[in-house]
Each structure stands twice: as C-alpha cells, then as structure tokens.
C-alpha cells in the first residue's frame, strides 16, 4: 500500500475541510445546540413517564448516551456515497482512477482527512462541553481504550457499508433516494436516534446479527461500561469480523463495477 | 516505416504489422516508481544494441461496445421508459491495432463519436475493452491499472483532475506524494514548468476560480510533474484562445524534445496537429482508417485550398479553371481551388490582375472534410 500517497490525499481532505471554514464553524456551533434539544426532549419524556429509568437508562445515563452518540458520530461520519455519486455523474471519477492508488483507499484517505478535522474541531469540543455542562462521566482506562479502538473499527464498518452503496451508482447513476434510506437505516438501527435497549427483546436479538449496532450502540455501551470485559473483547472481535465481511463484499462489487464503468459522464 | 498510404484500412493495419514477431516489451517491471526509469533506460540500451526501435505502445484488435439507451422526447415517453427501455448496441471500437514508438507525438483525429475518446480511455486504463490485447510500457493497462497509471500522464480538456476547492499547487504536491517523486526532481520540474507556462500567479488560487486557459496550463503541469514517459492529451486546447494554444503547443514540443516523452493527442484543431504531430491516426466509426505520416495525407488529400477574397469593388464575373465558387456576396468571394489542377499562385495572380483585391486569405479545408474524403474512398 502506498501510505505516503494515502496520507497525501488525507491531507487534501483536511485542506478541503479548511477551505470551507465557515461551514466548519457553523457545524461546531450547531452541535451543542442539538445536544441541548435532546437534553430537554428526554427531560420531558422522563417527567411524562414518571419512571426513574427508560429502557434501563436513568436520565443522566441517557444524557451520557447522546453525548457519546455524537462523539462516535464524528469519527464514523462518512458521505462517501455522495462523493461517488457526484464524481460519477460529473465524470470526475477519472481523477481517482488515474492515480496509482486503489480506488477504495482513494476515497477512504480523503474521508479520514475530513474526519480528523471533525475530531479536532467537533469531537473534542463536545467531549469538553459534555464534561463541563452535561455531566459526562469518565470511565476506566480499559473501557476508554476499548472505546477508542471500537470507534475506529466502527468507522471502517460505517465507511465500508457506505462505500458499497456508493458502488451501486455504477449501475444506478443517481442514488440520492438510496442514500437517504441508508442514512435513515444506519441512524435507526445503529442506535443514533434512540438507544437500542428501547426496542423489544426479539428485535434486539436480530440487531446482534446485523452490522449496524457495531457502528454506534456497541462503542457507546463499551464506554458506559454496561457490558462485561469478556463481552467487550467479543464485541471488538465481531467488529473485526464485520470489517472483513464488508470489505470482501466491497471488493466483489468493485470488480464488477470497474468493468461496468463505461461512458458515464464522458 | 510509413512510406506510402494504402487506400484500404485493412492494408494500412497489415502494413503496420509487417513483422511477424509480436513486438512486445518484456520488461521485468516491478511497481517501483524510482526504479522504473532505470528499467526503462536499461531495456532501451538492450534494444539499441539489437538496432531495433522499441514500441512504447503495442495494441492489437481492441473492441469495445456500449449499450445506448434510446427514447423519444416528451414526458409520456420518459414515463414509459421507466417500465421498458429500448437500447441499441453501439460499436465504439472495432479491431483497433496500433504501435507507437517512444518519443513520438501522434495525433488521433476523427469526427465526434468516432471512438477517439474510447480508445484513449482504454489505453489509459480507465475502460475494459470487450476483447483485444495491449502491451503498453510492459503492462496491460486495464488489468494492471494501479501499477500502470503511475507511468502515464493524462489531460482531459473537458474536465479537471485537480482538486476543485484547492489551489493547483496543493494538487501538485499531492501528486508528488502519490507518485513518490523525489524532492529535488519535483522542485526542478515544477520551477521549469511554471516559468515555461507562465503560471506563477495562478497556482495559488483555488481551481474553481481560474479561467479555462489558466486551468488548462495547470492541468498539464499536474499531469507531467511525475515525468511520465507516456502522456495522453484529450482535446487539450478546446476553448483556449490563440495565445494560450500557442503556449500549450510550444510546451508540449519542448517536453517531448527534452524528456523524449511520448504524446498521444486527440483534437479537432488542425493547427494542433500541424504544429505537434508528424504522424496521425484517423479513426471513424470505431475503425482506424488511416495511420501514417501527416505529410502524406496532406499531399494526397488536401488538394483543395479555401480562398477568401475581399474586394474593394463589387464582384464581377469570375472564371478560373479548377476553381469552384462557394459563396458570392457583395464584396466577398469564397473559392475552393483544386491544387492538383492549378497552383494557388496562379489563382492569386489571376485575382490580382482582374479584380480590385483588398485582402486574400488562403486556408486548408477543415479536418472533417479530409476525413470525409478519406472515408469515401
């Protein structure tokens, strides 16, 4: 692998992020706002329900959950399917194809560059805001390290799935509808919108066999320490397994897609 | 090598493969950007010892078909097309074969939709052909894409390969890292190219803010900084003004001379061809219909000259053997002369003697005319 080349493209991602610094500032300011909205939303839900816990979460835990959900989201965020769709429609895909770099790492490096900026300018501020204003608690060294590893794995799972969807643009050209479906599916089944423990038990069992919860819910539970050490190790192993499966599928689709690549936008 | 023009395309192709042994480069090429040029030069020496030139491109029987969807205009037809679509198979390339030597500048011409771009895209590793074989700098482009593209440069006049939101200089440095160009070589080449193309001021503004001419000049720098031995230029001068075109052509010639870079240029601009190429390949309906020296084709096919005469007085009766009047309008006369019947000088003399001439322009007929002529044969 051409690491120097990959890093060069990650740097390009960083520069593109910086080129739109106003956008960056707005995003940085908007995150605490959505945190406040979730805070009051759940506060009223707890008041309405009149119970101490909802889905096994006490109110402070629930706030912790949403802060962590945001933090994980900054690392895993990927819109590679959008880049791919646009590049294909506007005939810009040749730029990547003409570089001595594999197609997937071309996009992945760029996305990593952007996410590094997200971590610096959004994730770290949210961490700090969480600690100071919203009672985000710390966790053991083991859980912290496992959490950091699992969010990196989560990025690769999230990116891999999004990339597979992006590849379908080789056949379908426009995939805006599918992308919307992808965002909704990932948001819902990964536990971004509501914690997965609020779902019925049978559906939770199904979730264990799908990759979605490993992009968000699992890393959060690792941080919160609601699962045992053995379970944490097992979760990390399952994440690795999903990475292997998803990238194998991506490779198979890619092999067909490149032969398919024809007069698209030429 | 191309002593005569043979009227039939089959013969032209056969003429090319007069040697029976396939001239395939069996370079022990490993993916090593630094080592590549050493490999190339050592194998070149080996070839010169044998006294045989080395083809940098060897391509045989390339075929490519596309499915093209068709529908009538109108909303109703658009809705119908949601349920059933008609498509036709378009043969973009039929048995294209060619050999190109190192250091050549070859013009690839043909009308719109003739298959030029398809050929360039296959040769640059972007498209998979349906069948056919290729050996370009020791590789099959579409099968070894990642390794292969490290050794070529490509400029598409219609689109940018630099990062849209960033200044060209950032794209240059990104390429430096991607291709692993050594610092000293990179800085030297960058400096040289910037001064040749006069883009000192331009390279620090975002690509999206550059004019077309500025962008194209940066585009070629971007494609050449890693010193590729083979460069494809697909309509590189499209939309450029005369001065920008001139700069661009001079630059290509200089690079070709200095680094022995092989260029393949597709264009609709006859000036590009005349300034740059000694050899041209004409392609139409997916077939190579001519491959040989530009001079030959000019002698044989450009027998016509277009002459535009502006007069100080009204146009009177005009008669000259071998000369056709294309247009007659007030003070202006457009003529077409068959130079195989009468030389241009005679016509000009005739005009000067018999008319009150204010201005005369003599031009070659446009490239499409020549292709039409060749294709008719």
Predicted confidence band at B45 (pLDDT cuts at 50, 70, 90)? very low
CA distance B244 to B239: 10
Per-residue pLDDT band for B242 (boundaries 50, 70, 90) equals confident
Å from B243 to nearest chain A CA?
A: 27
What are the residues whose beta carbons fall under 8 Å from the beta carbon of A27, sequence distance 6 or more? A121, A122
Q: Which domains does chain B have, with CATH numbers?
A: 9-151+228-299 (3.40.50.300), 303-376 (3.30.70)
CB contact under 8 A, A5 and B128: no
Q: ∠ CA(B317), CA(B320), CA(B325), 5° rounding?
A: 65
Using a CB-CB cut-off of 8 Å, the residues of chain B touching A89 are none
The Cα of B161 is separated from the nearest Cα of chain A by a number of Å equal to: 5
Query: What residues in A contact B158, CB-CB < 8 Å?
Result: 91
Is the CB of B178 less than 8 angstroms away from the CB of A2? yes
| Element housing B155 (H / E) | strand B152-156
Does the pLDDT of residue A111 top 60, yes or no? Answer: yes
Ramachandran class of A3: left when φ > 0, alpha when ψ lies in -120 to 50, beta otherwise? alpha
pLDDT bin (cut points 50, 70, 90) of residue B53 is low
Nearest CA-CA distance, residue B35 and chain A, Å: 15
Chain B residue numbers with beta carbons less than 8 Å from the beta carbon of A9 are: 174, 178
Could you tell me which of B191, B181, B189, B196 has the C-alpha nearest to residue B252?
A: B196
The per-residue pLDDT for range A191-249, each reduced to its tens digit, is 988 899 889 999 999 999 999 999 999 999 999 998 999 999 999 999 999 999 999 99
Q: Quote the pLDDT of residue A25.
A: 80
Radius of gyration of chain B (CA): 24
Tokens of B192: 């040289």
B310–chain A nearest CA distance, Å: 42
- Say whether residue B288 is in contact with chain A using an 8 A CB cutoff: no
Encoding tokens for residue B80? 């119908």
B18 Cβ neighbours under 8 A, 6+ residues apart: none
**How many CA atoms does the CB half-sphere of A163 hold within 13 Å?**
26
Distance CA B25, CA A148 (A): 50
B9-41: pLDDT as tens digits: 333 333 333 333 333 333 333 333 333 333 333
Binning pLDDT at 50, 70 and 90, where does residue A264 land? very low
pLDDT confidence of residue B375: 67
Hey, what are B187's tokens? Answer: 């800085």
**B244, B250, B194: which is closest to B222 by C-alpha?**
B194
CA B59/CA B23 separation, integer angstroms: 10
| Cβ within 8 Å of A, B 50-79 | 66
pLDDT band at A150 (very low <50, low <70, confident <90, very high): very high
Query: Mutate which of A98, A103, A254, A258 to disrupt the B interface (most B C-beta within 10 Å)?
Result: A98
For B346-358, what is each residue's pLDDT tens digit? Answer: 888 888 888 888 8
**pLDDT at residue number A1:** 52
Nearest CA in chain B to A106: B178
What's the confidence (pLDDT) of residue B75? Answer: 78
> Nearest residue on chain B to A15, judged by CA atoms?
B166
Count of A–B CB contacts within 8 Å? 82
Asked whether B108 and B120 are in contact (CB, 8 A), the reply is yes
Q: What is the pLDDT of residues B251-298, one digit of tens each?
A: 999 999 999 999 999 988 888 888 899 999 988 888 898 899 988 887
Task: With CB atoms and an 8 Å threshold, state whether A19 touches B176.
Answer: no
> Would an 8 Å CB–CB cutoff place B129 in contact with chain A?
no
Of residues A240 and B43, the one with the higher pLDDT is: A240
What are the two backbone dihedrals, phi and then psi, of residue B301, each rounded to the nearest 5 degrees? Answer: -105, -30
With cut-offs at 50, 70 and 90, classify the pLDDT of residue A155.
Answer: very high
Instruction: Give me B231's structure tokens.
Output: 């460069």
Q: How far apart are CA A124 and CA B118, in angstroms?
A: 49
**Tens-place pLDDT, residues B172-221:** 999 998 898 899 999 999 999 999 888 998 999 999 999 988 899 999 99
Chain A residues whose beta carbon lies within 8 Å of the beta carbon of residue B161: 94-95, 98
Q: List Cβ neighbours of A213 (8 Å cut-off, separation of 6 or more).
A: A189, A190, A191, A196, A207
B145 CB neighbours in chain A (<8 A) are: 97, 258
> Do the Cβ atoms of B180 and A99 come within 8 Å?
no
What span, in angstroms and rounded, lies between the C-alpha atoms of B142 and B123?
8
Judged by average pLDDT, the poorest of A79-83, B159-163, B215-219, B302-306 is B302-306
Out of B66, B124, B173, name the one closest to residue A98 (CB). B124
Each residue's pLDDT tens digit, B91-141: 888 989 999 999 999 999 888 878 888 899 999 988 888 899 999 999 999
Query: Residues A208-237, buried b or exposed e (16+ Cβ, 10 A)?
Result: eeebbbbbbbbbbbbbbbeeeeeebeebbe
H or E element that contains B336: strand B332-338
3-state secondary structure of B310: strand
- Kindly list the residues from chain A whose CB atom is less than 8 angstroms away from the CB atom of residue B156: 94
Quote the pLDDT of residue A32: 81
User: Residue A176: is its pLDDT beyond 60?
Assistant: yes
pLDDT(B2) > 60: no
Q: What is the DSSP letter of B239?
A: T
Percentage above 70 pLDDT, chain B: 84
B239 pLDDT exceeds 50?
A: yes
- ipTM for the complex? 0.79
Contacts with B146 from chain A: Cβ below 8 Å? 100-102
- Is pLDDT above 60 for B43? no
Q: Phi and psi for A91 in degrees, rounded to 5?
A: 70, 25
Q: Classify the phi-psi angles of A102: left when phi > 0, otherwise alpha if psi is within -120 to 50, otherwise beta.
A: beta
Between A24 and A147, the more confident residue is A147
Residue B176 touches partner A, C-beta closer than 8 Å: yes
Distance CA B375, CA B285 (A): 10
Work out the average pLDDT over A39-48: 91
- Chain A CB contacts of B125 below 8 Å: 97-98
């Amino acid at each position: 692998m051409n690491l120097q080349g990959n890093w060069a493209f990650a740097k390009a991602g960083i520069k593109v992020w910086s080129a739109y610094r106003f956008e960056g500032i707005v995003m940085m300011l908007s995150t605490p706002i959505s945190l406040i909205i979730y805070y009051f939303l759940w506060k009223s839900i707890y008041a309405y329900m009149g119970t101490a816990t909802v889905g096994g979460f006490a109110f402070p835990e629930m706030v912790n959950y949403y802060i962590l959900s945001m933090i994980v989201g900054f690392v895993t965020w990927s819109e590679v399917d959008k880049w791919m769709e646009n590049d294909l429609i506007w005939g810009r895909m040749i730029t990547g194809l003409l570089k001595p770099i594999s197609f997937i790492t071309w996009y992945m490096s760029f996305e990593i560059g952007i996410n590094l900026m997200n971590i610096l300018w959004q994730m770290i501020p949210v961490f700090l805001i969480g600690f100071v204003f919203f009672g985000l608690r710390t966790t053991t060294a083991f859980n912290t390290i496992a959490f950091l590893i699992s969010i990196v794995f989560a990025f690769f799972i999230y990116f891999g799935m999004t990339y597979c969807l992006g590849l379908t643009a080789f056949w379908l050209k426009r995939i805006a509808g599918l992308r919307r479906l992808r965002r909704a599916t990932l948001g819902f089944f990964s536990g971004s919108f509501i914690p997965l423990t609020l779902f019925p038990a049978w559906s939770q069992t199904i979730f264990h066999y799908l990759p979605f919860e490993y992009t968000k819910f699992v890393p959060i539970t690792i941080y919160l320490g609601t699962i045992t050490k053995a379970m944490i190790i097992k979760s990390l192993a399952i994440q690795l397994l999903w990475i292997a499966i998803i990238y194998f599928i991506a490779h198979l689709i890619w092999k067909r897609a490149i032969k398919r690549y024809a007069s698209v936008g030429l | 090598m191309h002593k005569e023009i043979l009227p039939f395309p089959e013969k032209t192709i056969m003429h090319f493969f007069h040697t029976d042994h396939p001239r395939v480069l069996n370079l022990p090429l490993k993916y090593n950007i630094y080592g590549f040029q050493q490999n190339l030069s050592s194998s070149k020496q080996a070839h010169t010892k044998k006294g045989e030139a080395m083809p940098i491109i060897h391509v045989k029987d390339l075929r490519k078909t596309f499915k093209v969807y068709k529908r009538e205009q109108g909303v109703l037809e658009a809705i119908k097309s949601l349920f059933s679509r008609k498509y036709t198979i378009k043969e973009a390339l039929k048995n294209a074969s060619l050999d190109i030597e190192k250091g050549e500048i070859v013009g690839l011409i043909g009308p719109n939709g003739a298959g030029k771009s398809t050929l360039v895209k296959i040769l640059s590793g972007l498209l998979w052909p349906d069948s056919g074989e290729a050996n370009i700098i020791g590789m099959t482009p579409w099968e070894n894409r990642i390794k292969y593209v490290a050794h070529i440069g490509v400029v598409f006049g219609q689109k940018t390969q630099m990062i849209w939101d960033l200044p060209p200089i950032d794209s240059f440095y990104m390429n430096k890292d991607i291709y692993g160009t050594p610092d000293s070589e990179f800085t030297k080449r960058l400096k040289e190219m910037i001064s040749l193309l006069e883009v000192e001021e331009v390279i620090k503004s975002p690509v999206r803010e550059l004019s077309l001419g500025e962008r194209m000049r940066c585009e070629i720098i971007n494609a050449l900084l890693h010193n590729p031995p083979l460069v494809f230029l697909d309509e590189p001068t499209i939309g450029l003004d005369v001065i920008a075109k001139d700069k661009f052509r001079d630059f290509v010639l200089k690079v070709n001379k200095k680094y022995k870079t092989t260029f393949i240029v597709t264009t609709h601009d006859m000036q590009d061809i005349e300034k740059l190429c000694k050899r041209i390949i004409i392609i139409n309906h997916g077939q190579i219909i001519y491959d040989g020296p530009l001079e030959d084709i000019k002698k044989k096919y450009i027998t016509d000259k277009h002459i535009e005469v502006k007069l100080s007085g009204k146009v009177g009766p005009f008669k000259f053997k071998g000369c056709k009047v294309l247009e007659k309008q007030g003070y202006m006369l457009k003529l077409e002369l068959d130079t195989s019947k009468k030389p241009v000088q005679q016509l000009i003399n005739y005009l000067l003697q018999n008319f009150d001439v204010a201005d005369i322009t003599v031009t070659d007929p446009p490239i499409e005319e020549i292709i039409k002529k060749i294709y008719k044969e």
